[in-house]
Chain A
Amino acid sequence: MSRDPEITSSTDMIRALGLIAAICGIIIVGVYEFTLDAVNANKKIALERQVFKVFPHAKTVDAFDALPGGISPAGDHDALAGAVRFYAAYDATGKLAGIAAEGSSAGYADQVRVLYAWDPEKQLIIGLGVISMRETPGIGDKILVDRDFLHNFVALDVSLAADLNSLAHMVKTVKHGTKSHDWEIDAISGATVTSKAVGRGINQSAQALLPRLMPHLAQLRNKS
């Protein structure tokens, strides 16, 4: 530095930072307000698309939160701590077609998030969709297309134990070709890690959700 640097006073610095913060704050709040509706609409569409995939006959979807004491319709916000978010799908006449909920667990690369379809009459999982994953193409992502694997979720036993506090049998992923019970998931050979992540995610979610949901199922029978 050849010239003597000018000393900036603290008030100048604070004023400059305050000015920038004010400008930036206005921009962010403005954009948030402006895009809020579109973002929420997008989220709703994305959710409905997922749920309709596992309940092809459904026409409308409502989101609920299952809390220890009961169930309540979900607001715009994310699920509260301790609550389990689930989705009730209704057919054209407003009758309950089934319940969908998310299970997620760590896979090979990242969280594997799946949406499972639960039939309250039969107490079975009757369908599976994948919300998001980053598994290895050609190996882990077979959970989307492998017929044998998807066949596990046509009738997966998740009935409750006698005390209604947990599942009668833990949902478990077993080695390829060794499935012997209705609550077991036959893994894809070569993609065991991803298969196990699916099983673990479903088990965790179902263990938490179904005992809370069962006593209040009557509330959901017909669309409110």
Chain B
Amino acid sequence: MTSLVSNFDEFMDGLWKQNPIFVMVLGMCPTLAVTVSAINSISMGLATTFVLVASCLLVSLLRHAIPKEVRIASYIVIIATFVTVVDYAIQAISLELYEALGAYIKLIVANCILLGRAEAHAAKTPPVAASLNACGMGLGFTLGLLAIGAVREIFGSGMLFGVSLFGPHFQPWVIMVLPPGGFFVLAGWLILFAAIKARNSSQLSSGERALEGGKS
């Protein structure tokens, strides 16, 4: 029972509490580059999730076999392998998607979330927990990308998942599909999260104060 709870915690950790984009602010390169549409964001997010889960699982399985002197080299080789796998898989699924994501699929290998998770978590955790945590992180990353991609697609082209929302006379906000738009939308979400956090903590501290007042 406790293991179930802790596994669930492992999963939720990445999805919300330590969301790679909004809380840890990791992996900004693909975050800003590919989030011009919701579909691109989801594809990129799922590709990263796959690499994350597969590499964390393998790292976790091999964690006793990898000497610590060569661990970084081992992790990078493992991550690069699964990035290559995803690269072929996306080419086989859709060339259009492959063109849209461009070099950023190959650049997943340099995404700091992957090495960070392998080093900080998977190398010290049994396989089930490691892959659950990786899955949560990956889905949290996907969620973050989707939040940015959806806003940019709505403003930048008046569509969501390719479905037109405002009819043919919509005026696209060109800047939203250009790199500055990525920065603006990311900043907007970060402000929102910071505001929620500030409000929660102020409520918490006022609650504590009330408690202390009752005591004295």
Contacts and interface: CB of A to CB of B under 8 A. Distances in A.
Establish whether A and B are touching in the complex (CB under 8 Å).
yes
Top 10 closest pairs, chain A to chain B, by CB: A38-B92, A24-B81, A35-B92, A8-B67, A35-B88, A39-B91, A138-B174, A31-B85, A42-B95, A13-B70
Give the contact-size bracket for chain B: 20 to 34
A16 B58 CA distance: 13
Nearest to A134: B102
Q: Would you call the interface of chain B mostly helix, strand, loop, or mixed?
A: helix
Interface of A: 8, 12-13, 16-17, 19-21, 23-24, 27-28, 31-32, 35, 38-39, 42-43, 46, 132, 136-139
A90 to B, nearest CB: 23
B91 to A, nearest CB: 5
A29 B203 CA distance: 56
* Max chain B C-beta neighbours (<10 A), residue from A20, A38, A42, A46: A20
Given A13-B67, A16-B65, A43 B95 contact: yes
A38 B73 CA distance: 32
B123 to A, nearest CB: 13
Interface in B165-205: 172, 174, 177-178
A8 B84 contact: no
Given A16-B65, A38-B91, 12 more contacts: A8-B68, A8-B69, A13-B69, A16-B70, A19-B65, A20-B78, A24-B77, A24-B80, A28-B84, A39-B92, A136-B174, A137-B174
A180 to B, nearest CB: 33
B94 to A, nearest CB: 7
Interface in B90-137: 91-96, 99
Given A13-B67, A24-B81, A27-B85, A35 B91 contact: yes
A136 B175 CA distance: 9
A15 to B, nearest CB: 9
B91 A42 contact: yes
B23 interface: no
B106 to A, nearest CB: 14
B77 A137 contact: no
B135 to A, nearest CB: 19
B178 A136 contact: yes
A23 B58 contact: yes
